[in-house]
Amino acid sequence: MIKVGLYVGRFQPFHMGHIEAIKYALKKVDELIIAIGSAQYSYTLDNPFTTGERITMIRIGLYESGIDTSKYQIVPIPDINIHTLWIAYVKSYTPKFDLVFSNEPLTSRLFKETGIKVESIPYFNRNVCSATEIRKRMISNEDWQSLMPKSVSSYLMEIDGVDRIIELTRTDNPSIQKSKF
Amino acid sequence: MIKVGLYVGRFQPFHMGHIEAIKYALKKVDELIIAIGSAQYSYTLDNPFTTGERITMIRIGLYESGIDTSKYQIVPIPDINIHTLWIAYVKSYTPKFDLVFSNEPLTSRLFKETGIKVESIPYFNRNVCSATEIRKRMISNEDWQSLMPKSVSSYLMEIDGVDRIIELTRTDNPSIQKSKF
Amino acid sequence: MIKVGLYVGRFQPFHMGHIEAIKYALKKVDELIIAIGSAQYSYTLDNPFTTGERITMIRIGLYESGIDTSKYQIVPIPDINIHTLWIAYVKSYTPKFDLVFSNEPLTSRLFKETGIKVESIPYFNRNVCSATEIRKRMISNEDWQSLMPKSVSSYLMEIDGVDRIIELTRTDNPSIQKSKF
Amino acid sequence: MIKVGLYVGRFQPFHMGHIEAIKYALKKVDELIIAIGSAQYSYTLDNPFTTGERITMIRIGLYESGIDTSKYQIVPIPDINIHTLWIAYVKSYTPKFDLVFSNEPLTSRLFKETGIKVESIPYFNRNVCSATEIRKRMISNEDWQSLMPKSVSSYLMEIDGVDRIIELTRTDNPSIQKSKF
Amino acid sequence: MIKVGLYVGRFQPFHMGHIEAIKYALKKVDELIIAIGSAQYSYTLDNPFTTGERITMIRIGLYESGIDTSKYQIVPIPDINIHTLWIAYVKSYTPKFDLVFSNEPLTSRLFKETGIKVESIPYFNRNVCSATEIRKRMISNEDWQSLMPKSVSSYLMEIDGVDRIIELTRTDNPSIQKSKF
Amino acid sequence: MIKVGLYVGRFQPFHMGHIEAIKYALKKVDELIIAIGSAQYSYTLDNPFTTGERITMIRIGLYESGIDTSKYQIVPIPDINIHTLWIAYVKSYTPKFDLVFSNEPLTSRLFKETGIKVESIPYFNRNVCSATEIRKRMISNEDWQSLMPKSVSSYLMEIDGVDRIIELTRTDNPSIQKSKF
């Protein structure tokens, strides 16, 4: 009987911390569903990259790390902003899973309340290996490349991702500057 | 001829200030419509409790205060975020009412502009008897129980409400941390 | 320990069949939550009456039938059109309930799948006592008054409800004629 | 004191009936607001043309008819599908107006209920001069050009409008075939 | 240089026609993005299965057909109901692709208008191998199993899919019976 | 061949900077589409005025500046909050245009990526001639009238606009205080 896990993130951008978390999870389950949250957003300060770009980063990053495509599935999930419904929404969007990997206290509680098992996941170099930190470094022109797989940082250069983030900090377009829905 | 009033709040949570306001209003009208605003939200910092939980708090709090169920109706109203339409939305959701109780200058103006009578309501111990203050005290572990009916504080303990609010301050789940739509 | 039931309808309009169903349910539970579905709609062929008007019909109809306000609560619930989330939405909008009264196979299945008990409810004169039948009779000028409590039919006359329904059949206003969201 | 009228339509497409109605209205008011309803839709059977295309048709059609740009304003208004709010929405989107031109019984009633004056407008050759009839003729390859200003029919040819409508009747793309929201 | 194709469907349910189409496409491209349209819907007549269930059907059906997980990606895409935006939405949700496989005239036109190459795909036994036909056969208890991979028909039995569809034809729950958004 | 430009703003309120920008643009193009962004909002701190009020300000301000109604069109465009779709949305709402006037780096990039020409526009007295500055001065009772056409400041007095903005800073109505969607 195959054991399936669920791991939710926004991956803005995808970095070494995510890779270590996925490797950790794949020791506990046979297959991992990687859910991309806030899927409808992009070109905002908090969500600079499109879902298509995030899928690409995850796939090339996992390929570089030697993780086979048969071991994971990627499922983008739009936010619905009504939190009591979010768990039901995730369940309708994803194949059946047996447990959730999460360190987030409220996510954990919400999943547990519907009878789903939740396991925490050790942090990997949390101080620097966070998407927020990486976006900050991109803006202040510090090293961010070392925090992610080479193929992902190359891809971000290719799509001109750093310039996009810098422009997002400077915008005063009312429709764009709202970093949150 | 029965005189009906409308009183709008979010009741996050329901406290003594609300009870005093309702008592005051019920001296002026025969029946009061208690409208629960932002009804679709819950599990956010500003709106921690579901509409179902808010209805329960109002009913048990008013029962403890000796106010009969025949004197009021509770109507949850979702936010629509287009303010010029909000008054029309409230009117379509509620039975006919004769006047609105509100201290809020803009709400008052919007209702008055559509020809509805608005009356202000004396504040009851406003410094401490506010939902914002109560949520702060819950987080910093100060006395909040004395600011609400006993039955309501018991109910909040029962549903583990304080822990929920504390967890909400710590979350970094992108879908949950947005305290506003 | 109080036993609470949930009963969902659209009440377009409220009629004798609903009253009999509520009476039946109140023999089985101490308190009944009457949920008004499709709450955001009105002035359409399927949903001619506003939520405020539906609340009024229910209250005066139950008053005429001698059912006390302490025995039931009315909760309007907007449609969300994503059915797997509907059950979660209903649960967040309503106080805690112990069982659902429903004859609808799919509603029953969805509630049961989340572990909630469902009971069917005997139909009362189903051929004629249906909201669809009543709206048809209003349009073709046949007797509809006998199918509902006197106070409700009076109220419908007062708000000119029959003319509204007839106008709705004749409209070609693109924004109004869509009878469904 | 300038007298302003409001005239609402979907203009799918704009035809001689609309031009006659606008001419009639401009005898009664100094300035006319032409509101384009269902503004967000296009590429559906009922709403084949975008708002931009509809604005273009109205402008060139009125230019051909000798009506000056100073006499009218065009305001696109998205549908909101909650009809009791529609009147409030129209009012927030448009400059102040003194009366509405409409033959639609429910629209008239809704406007009148908020205290706005409504006047009917004589139909111009209603049997054939309707957008529904024109779309039908386009599909069955009958004469439709004679029902609209020359400049508008030329524009529709230029944007390949007839082929678009024919393709819309044949589509089985789930996202496109829904002719209504 | 890897060549990527896009293939859009609703897969309600996934059948042999889809498998043949995917095999055909994989002769033309190195990798195929399989986009699941109308992703947010389920438990309706047109969209009985959740996105999670549809992902499962696709994966087990392709596995049975010997198609490797490295050759395709599955991306669920919610409907947005504003068709001119749909192409932009698809592009933001998916990794970069070089061509689209589609027989649908309007989809083809919309993609072509944004400069994307579109190729048609030969139909496989179209009369019977369509999701609509399969749902009809399920309702009338005719053979539907032969139209899909064995693993998929077993899965549908396992999740009680036929009963779900039959119940959907009988429902009168206002929130559920609307088969379209 | 007529050359058409597009100029996007929120015009909260309309001021001399906008007028100078429009004059500048009209030297480069024959006709200007003035798009009103965030059209659905009003009665918020960032978007105090309705679209109808903004249209009125633009028309009377341009009239005072001697710009003929035949030279421009006003098109309100609602925000959609999914930025990759915004460009497609603007294009579906507006007649065909040849270039965009914008100083905003991200807007410029998004338009350029779809092949549309973008030109910057010189700022006019940017320090004081900004809507944000004007709203600040209204709140602190400093001179704001000199920053806009006389007819526009008169109109704002007439609709009691300054009091509205001051009330908006003081509100604690949950539905109103959210200054952004």
pLDDT of F121 over the 90 cut: yes
**Which residues is A75 bridged to in the sheet?**
A35
Asked if E85's CB is within 8 angstroms of F88's CB, the reply is yes
Asked if A76's CB is within 8 angstroms of E52's CB, the reply is no
Q: Name the average pLDDT for chain D.
A: 91
CA closest to F8 among chain A residues: A173
User: With contact defined as beta carbons under 8 Å apart, do F28 and F5 qualify?
Assistant: yes
Asked if E56's CB is within 8 angstroms of A92's CB, the reply is no
Asked if D82's CB is within 8 angstroms of B84's CB, the reply is no
Q: Name the average pLDDT for chain C.
A: 91
Chain B contact for F171, CB < 8 A?
A: yes
The answer to whether position B57 is within a domain reads yes
Nearest neighbour of F76 by CB, restricted to D56, D59, D93: D93
The answer to whether position B181 is within a domain reads no
Query: Maximum Cα–Cα distance for chain B, whole Å?
Result: 54
Report the distance separating Cα F170 and Cα B150, nearest Å: 32
Enumerate residues 6+ apart whose C-beta is below 8 A from D138: D144, D161, D162, D165, D166
Nearest neighbour of F83 by CB, restricted to A44, A170, A172: A44
User: With contact defined as beta carbons under 8 Å apart, do E74 and E58 qualify?
Assistant: yes
Asked if C74's CB is within 8 angstroms of B70's CB, the reply is no
Among the listed residues C69, C50, C60, C65, the one whose alpha carbon sits nearest the alpha carbon of residue C12: C50
Query: Which residues from D are below 8 Å from B113, CB to CB?
Result: none
Report the distance separating Cα B25 and Cα B31, nearest Å: 9
For chain E, first and last CA: distance in Å?
41
The answer to whether position B89 is within a domain reads yes
Q: Name the average pLDDT for chain F.
A: 91
pLDDT digit string, tens, across residues F146-174: 999 999 999 999 999 999 999 888 876 55
Interface probe for A, chosen from E92, E116, E159, E175 (most Cβ of A below 10 Å), is E92
Query: Letter for the amino acid at C9?
Result: G
CA closest to E49 among chain C residues: C84
- ∠ at Cα B156 (B151, B162), nearest 5°? 145
The answer to whether position B180 is within a domain reads no
ipTM for this prediction: 0.92
- Beta strand F31-36 with F99-101 is unpaired
pLDDT digit string, tens, across residues A56-84: 999 999 999 999 999 999 999 998 878 77
CATH number at residue E105: 3.40.50.620
Burial class (CB in 10 A: 0-12, 13-18, 19+), D147: buried
- Neighbouring subunits of C (3+ Cβ pairs under 8 A): A, B, D, E
Asked if B172's CB is within 8 angstroms of A10's CB, the reply is no
Residue D10 region, left (φ>0) first, then alpha (ψ -120 to 50), else beta? Answer: alpha
Q: Which structural domain range is residue A39 located in?
A: 4-172
Rounded average pLDDT over E120-125: 89
Asked if A59's CB is within 8 angstroms of E92's CB, the reply is no
* B vs F: CB pairs below 8 A: 51
Report the distance separating Cα E107 and Cα A126, nearest Å: 45
Burial class (CB in 10 A: 0-12, 13-18, 19+), F179: middle
**Which residues is D6 bridged to in the sheet?**
D33, D100
Residue with tokens 């749909």: E86
Report the distance separating Cα F80 and Cα B159, nearest Å: 37
User: With contact defined as beta carbons under 8 Å apart, do D134 and D148 qualify?
Assistant: yes
User: With contact defined as beta carbons under 8 Å apart, do A136 and A162 qualify?
Assistant: no
Distance from CA of D129 to the nearest CA of F (A): 25
For chain D, first and last CA: distance in Å?
41
Chains A and D touch (3+ CB pairs under 8 A): no
Asked if B84's CB is within 8 angstroms of D88's CB, the reply is yes
User: With contact defined as beta carbons under 8 Å apart, do C167 and C135 qualify?
Assistant: no
Neighbours of E177 (CB within 10 A): 16
Q: What is the pTM of this model?
A: 0.92
pLDDT of B27 over the 70 cut: yes
The answer to whether position A53 is within a domain reads yes
- In this structure, what DSSP letter does residue E147 have? G
Q: Which of A97-101, C129-133, D73-77 has the lowest mean pLDDT?
A: C129-133
User: What are F130's two structure tokens?
Assistant: 């900004």
The answer to whether position A166 is within a domain reads yes
Number of domains in chain A: 1
Helix (H, G, I), strand (E, B) or coil at D123: coil
Helices A83-93, C83-93: inter-axial angle, 10-degree rounding: 160
* Residue predicted with more confidence, A143 or A86: A143
pLDDT digit string, tens, across residues A32-60: 999 999 999 999 888 999 999 999 999 99
pLDDT of E8 over the 70 cut: yes
Among the listed residues B171, C109, C76, the one whose alpha carbon sits nearest the alpha carbon of residue A109: B171
Query: Which residues from E are below 8 Å from C84, CB to CB?
Result: 42-43, 50
Enumerate residues 6+ apart whose C-beta is below 8 A from B109: F164, F167
User: What are F57's two structure tokens?
Assistant: 């300000």
Query: Which residues from D are below 8 Å from B92, CB to CB?
Result: 82, 84-85
Report the distance separating Cα E154 and Cα E57, nearest Å: 10
User: With contact defined as beta carbons under 8 Å apart, do B7 and B25 qualify?
Assistant: yes
Predicted local distance difference test score (pLDDT) of residue C181: 27
- Neighbouring subunits of E (3+ Cβ pairs under 8 A): A, C, D, F
Residue with tokens 């046979």: A30
Asked if A88's CB is within 8 angstroms of C85's CB, the reply is yes
Under the banding of pLDDT at 50, 70 and 90, the label for residue A177 is very low
Report the distance separating Cα D24 and Cα A15, nearest Å: 66
Chain B contact for D88, CB < 8 A?
A: yes
Predicted local distance difference test score (pLDDT) of residue C81: 74
Chain A contact for F104, CB < 8 A?
A: yes
Chain D contact for C171, CB < 8 A?
A: yes
Chain A contact for C92, CB < 8 A?
A: yes
- C154 half-sphere exposure, CB direction, 13 A CA radius: 6
Rounded average pLDDT over B47-55: 96
Nearest neighbour of B176 by CB, restricted to A46, A83, A181: A83
pLDDT of A29 over the 90 cut: yes
pLDDT of F105 over the 90 cut: no
Helices D161-170, D131-139: inter-axial angle, 10-degree rounding: 80
User: What are A99's two structure tokens?
Assistant: 């447990």
pLDDT digit string, tens, across residues C53-91: 999 999 999 999 999 999 999 999 998 878 788 899 999
User: What are A46's two structure tokens?
Assistant: 């908090």
Asked if F81's CB is within 8 angstroms of A176's CB, the reply is no
pLDDT of B177 over the 50 cut: no
Chains B and E touch (3+ CB pairs under 8 A): no
Chain C contact for B73, CB < 8 A?
A: yes
Q: Measured between alpha carbons, how far is residue B44 from residues B174, D22, D97 in Å? A: 11, 51, 42
User: With contact defined as beta carbons under 8 Å apart, do A32 and A72 qualify?
Assistant: yes
pLDDT of F175 over the 70 cut: no
pLDDT of D177 over the 60 cut: no
Asked if F52's CB is within 8 angstroms of D96's CB, the reply is yes
User: With contact defined as beta carbons under 8 Å apart, do C129 and C147 qualify?
Assistant: yes
SS3 helix, strand, coil % of chain E, rounded to 5?
45, 15, 40
Asked if E178's CB is within 8 angstroms of C181's CB, the reply is yes
Report the distance separating Cα B8 and Cα F15, nearest Å: 37
Predicted local distance difference test score (pLDDT) of residue F9: 95
Under the banding of pLDDT at 50, 70 and 90, the label for residue C179 is very low
User: With contact defined as beta carbons under 8 Å apart, do E10 and E131 qualify?
Assistant: yes
Taking a contact as any Cβ pair under 8 Å apart, which residues of chain A between 146 and 165 contact chain B?
none
Asked if C43's CB is within 8 angstroms of D110's CB, the reply is yes
Under the banding of pLDDT at 50, 70 and 90, the label for residue F181 is very low
pLDDT of D181 over the 50 cut: no
Distance from CA of F90 to the nearest CA of E (A): 10
